[in-house]
């Protein structure tokens, strides 16, 4: 490892833990994700417990709540504690406009989210976070894990020269690129936005790498060839450095809350021909801070 990589890693692995008193937090890896216990999401959570969940979310970015029995109303109520609910776009043909069904029918050809991405980055104001509640896991009892990657660490582990090159750039995020063969409803306006390539988390001000393979199409300050080569390098770094990742194994009744502002995720379709089912509620964010 290069000295700047060691320094970046050490800064995250040696962070002091928040003194939790209303819940228990166990890290998934030293750099990303935590299992949170002592919380019942079917209840109105007391203010001090919500405050501790907010602290854990700032620190670990991916929070896993197991053994939850909740309705869609409980799910939305918990999400609403973190911001305004985000309408599913394009809207579902029927049902609740805030609930996205994540459904893999048996022997499906592919699954949603099977590539590195953060939700809604082509929007002018991308999503703050998403909460996925899985109730049906693949029949063999394994498979369908979700991978997550820490974009603060992805940035911090770059060389100082690379960080200096990237810092002033922007990137185009294009919803058309993410559609990949899917035909949206005729009245759907495909989102496209320009965001800082290196963003800052609105709550902690920490820098992070803000490009993802599903949506990011171009760095406008560079030639088409330069942009392609640099984006491919960054996508490769995100995908191929396990040090940035954690992996969540789902059990029925697990809810995972992740921060779309500083984490990317990737569904895994390793359970063909079995089925899997869950519901996702997302929260509105603000403009991407540079």
Positions that interact with ligand SIN (CB under 6 A): 102, 112-113, 130, 132, 146, 265, 267, 280
- Tokens 């491919």, residue located: 232
Tell the smallest beta-carbon distance from residue 242 to ligand SIN (Å): 18
Tell the smallest beta-carbon distance from residue 243 to ligand SIN (Å): 21
Tell the smallest beta-carbon distance from residue 209 to ligand SIN (Å): 19
CA angle (90 as vertex; 213, 279 as ends), nearest 5: 80
Shortest Cβ contact with ligand SIN: which residue?
A: 113
Tell the smallest beta-carbon distance from residue 109 to ligand SIN (Å): 15
Instruction: Name which of 245 and 280 has its Cβ closer to ligand SIN.
Output: 280
Question: What does the alpha-carbon distance between residue 73 and residue 136 come to, in Å, rounded to a whole number?
Answer: 19
Question: What does the alpha-carbon distance between residue 244 and residue 36 come to, in Å, rounded to a whole number?
Answer: 20
Tell me the sheet residues that pair with 173. 193, 216
Instruction: Name which of 130 and 170 has its Cβ closer to ligand SIN.
Output: 130
Tell the smallest beta-carbon distance from residue 113 to ligand SIN (Å): 2
Instruction: Name which of 88 and 165 has its Cβ closer to ligand SIN.
Output: 88
Instruction: Name which of 129 and 196 has its Cβ closer to ligand SIN.
Output: 129
Instruction: Name which of 134 and 231 has its Cβ closer to ligand SIN.
Output: 134
DSSP per-residue string spanning the chain: --HHHHHHHHHHHTPPPP--SSSEEEESSSSS-EEEES--TTSPPPHHHHHHHHHHHHHHSEEEE-S----HHHHHHHHHTSSPBPPPSSPPSSS-TT-EEEEE-TT-S--TT-SSB-TTTTSSS-EEEEEEEEEE--TTS----EEEEEHHHHHHTS-HHHHHHHTT-EEEEEHHHHHTT----TT----EEEEESEEE-TTT--EEE---TTTEEE-TTS-HHHHHHHHHHHHHHHHH-GGGEEEE---TTEEEEEETTTEEEEE---STT--EEEEEEEEE--PPB-
Tell the smallest beta-carbon distance from residue 265 to ligand SIN (Å): 6
Instruction: Name which of 146 and 217 has its Cβ closer to ligand SIN.
Output: 146
Instruction: Name which of 29 and 279 has its Cβ closer to ligand SIN.
Output: 279
Instruction: Name which of 108 and 112 has its Cβ closer to ligand SIN.
Output: 112
Tell the smallest beta-carbon distance from residue 154 to ligand SIN (Å): 18
Tell the smallest beta-carbon distance from residue 72 to ligand SIN (Å): 17
């Amino acid at each position: 490892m290069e000295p700047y990589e060691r320094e970046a890693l050490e800064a995250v692995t040696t962070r002091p833990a928040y003194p939790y008193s209303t819940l228990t937090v166990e890290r998934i890896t030293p750099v990303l994700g935590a299992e949170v216990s002592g919380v019942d999401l079917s209840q109105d959570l007391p203010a001090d417990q919500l405050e501790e969940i907010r602290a854990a979310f700032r620190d670990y970015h991916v929070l896993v709540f197991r053994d939850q029995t909740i309705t869609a109303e409980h799910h939305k109520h918990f999400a609403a504690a973190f911001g305004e609910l985000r309408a599913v776009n394009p809207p579902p043909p029927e049902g609740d406009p805030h609930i996205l069904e994540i459904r893999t029918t048996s022997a499906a050809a592919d699954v949603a989210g099977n590539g590195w991405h953060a939700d809604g980055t082509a929007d002018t104001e991308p999503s703050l976070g998403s909460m996925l509640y899985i109730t049906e896991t693949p029949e063999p009892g394994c498979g369908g894990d979700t991978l997550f990657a820490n974009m603060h660490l992805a940035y911090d582990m770059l060389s100082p020269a690379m960080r200096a090159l990237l810092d002033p750039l922007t990137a185009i995020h294009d919803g058309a690129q993410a559609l990949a063969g899917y035909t949206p409803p005729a009245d759907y306006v495909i989102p496209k936005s320009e965001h800082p390539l290196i963003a800052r988390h609105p709550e902690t001000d920490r820098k992070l790498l803000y490009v993802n393979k599903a949506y990011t199409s171009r760095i406008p300050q560079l030639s088409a060839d330069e942009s392609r080569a640099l984006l491919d390098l960054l996508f490769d770094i995100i995908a191929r450095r396990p040090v940035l990742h954690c992996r969540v194994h789902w059990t029925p009744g697990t809810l995972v809350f992740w921060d779309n502002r500083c984490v990317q995720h990737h569904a895994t379709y390793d359970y063909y021909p079995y089925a899997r089912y869950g519901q996702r509620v997302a929260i509105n964010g603000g403009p991407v801070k540079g």
